[in-house]
A and B are shown apart, each in its own frame.
Chain A
Amino acid sequence: MQMKSMEFTVGLFVVAGLLALAMLALKVGNIHMLGAGQTYTVTADFNNIGSLKSKAPVTVAGVRVGQVAAITVNPVTYRAVVTLDILKKYRFPRDSSASIVTAGLLGEQYVSLSPGGSRHNLKNGGKIRITQSAIVLEQIISQLLYSKAGHS
């Protein structure tokens, strides 16, 4: 009897430990977004990505539909090539556009997709041609200062 109840508590302990690991993986770490086979990849070239990082969200109308998989530089054009993982259940027209926007004034940057009107959808490995680069705050401030100086 003594041994049985001890085994029971040890079993509970092991279950609690595994549940905690599952919670960390699913609730905290969001493992289901990483699932290969559930996403397809498209690329988009940007002139300037600002401070976009991999794993940043990809959204449509503010709803998360994927994440940034990788960011590299095209050695010929010197533009940033951003690879996006998008969930398979969301399909987008081929002439959709991508822009890098900031959540709040100083928040994290993410990729926002705007669907186009084409009848053909983006395929795995496809490319988004219309892009809008990140807004770099320093550039806007310096432009503002120069334009003010020009007026006076």
Chain B
Amino acid sequence: MSAMTRVTAGIQRLGRRAIDGTNRLGRATLFLVRLVPGLGAILLRARLIVQQLYMTGVLTLVIILVSGAFVGMILALEGYNTLVKYDAQSSLGLLVALSLTRELGPVLTALLFAGRAGSALTAEIGLMKATEQLAGMEMMAVDPLVRVVAPRFWAGWIAVPLLAMIFTAVGILGAYVVAVGALGLDGGVFWSQMQSGVSVTNDVIGGLIKSVVFGFVISWIAVFEGYDAKPTSEGVSRATTRTVVSSSLAILGLDFIMTAFMLRGL
């Protein structure tokens, strides 16, 4: 009998989780719908977006540059080790460029951005809520969705594709330094193989589309979690964790779906 009740309790817990999850998704969507007019209105005060672009984009630049360079250099080393067995090391440039433009550039940038800037966005908005700054704005007839949330959303959305392009370019340069400088490959072959194999419409634009989608999703999750956080220190800390976890999962899941569609040529 007690085993039976335990099973029922477990199923009940599962059901509650499913309902909670659907509930959150619904609230996040409603929040996005409420945010849309603010996204238009804030464009008239672009200065606020620039300010947020500095906080989210420019301050994330260092980690993007360093990671991009190292990822490119590691790819070059690992790729060379395998390709040289088949005497195909001339394709190293192509290997590095395709992996970076199609997958690693957009995905790693998005993951780093979610950890570095997405969490900060959530914590900032959540703390504004906890210290009743958002309520204070409403008292002064200032809509916090327009004044606080919209510029942060725009900044995140703009910053991710720019950072992804920088990550990819720096990664390829890092790979070039290792391949030509350290491994002794011919520089001309490195670039020419890359140019004959990388398609601008499929690979470069495909990566750009991915990073635009990632930027939208991260910004959405980050501002929603902050706005939705319980106004306590524990609530803000939980919301920050949720931002990083859900955006990372969303990035990887969406990446799989988008890759599947892009490879089928849709």
Contact = CB atoms under 8 A, between A and B. Distances in A.
Contact of A16 (B166, B168, B199, B201): B166
For the residues of B in contact with A, the DSSP-based class is helix
Interface stretch (A25-33, A40-48, A85-93, A132-140): A25-33
B76 to A, nearest CB: 15
B151 interface: no
Interface string B32-54: 00000000000000010011011
A12 B191 CA distance: 27
B51 A24 contact: no
A106 interface: yes
B208 interface: yes
A104 B86 CA distance: 12
Interface string A77-114: 00000000000000000000000000010111000000
Interface string A15-26: 011111101110
B162 A13 contact: yes
Interface of A is mostly: helix
A27 B203 contact: no
A29 B169 contact: no
B2 interface: no
A28 B101 contact: yes
The 9 closest A-B pairs by CB, nearest first: A17-B162, A30-B195, A29-B200, A20-B169, A20-B165, A21-B165, A20-B166, A29-B198, A31-B200
Interface string B194-210: 11111111011000100
Interface of B: 47, 50-51, 53-54, 57-58, 61, 86-88, 90, 97, 101, 161-163, 165-166, 168-170, 172, 191, 194-201, 203-204, 208
Contacts of B172: 24, 28
6 contacts: A17-B162, A24-B169, A28-B198, A29-B203, A29-B204, A30-B198
A23, A29, A31, A108 pick with most chain B CB within 10 angstroms: A29
B86 A27 contact: no
A14 interface: yes
Given A13-B53, A13-B58, A21-B165, A28 B204 contact: yes
A29 B195 CA distance: 5
Interface stretch (A2-10, A117-125, A144-152): A2-10
B194 A9 contact: no
B196 A55 contact: yes
A34 interface: yes
Contacts of B166: 16-17, 20
Contacts of B200: 25, 29-31, 34
Given A24-B165, A28-B101, A28-B204, A13 B57 contact: yes
Contact of A28 (B47, B51, B170, B194): B194
Contacts of A20: 162, 165-166, 168-170
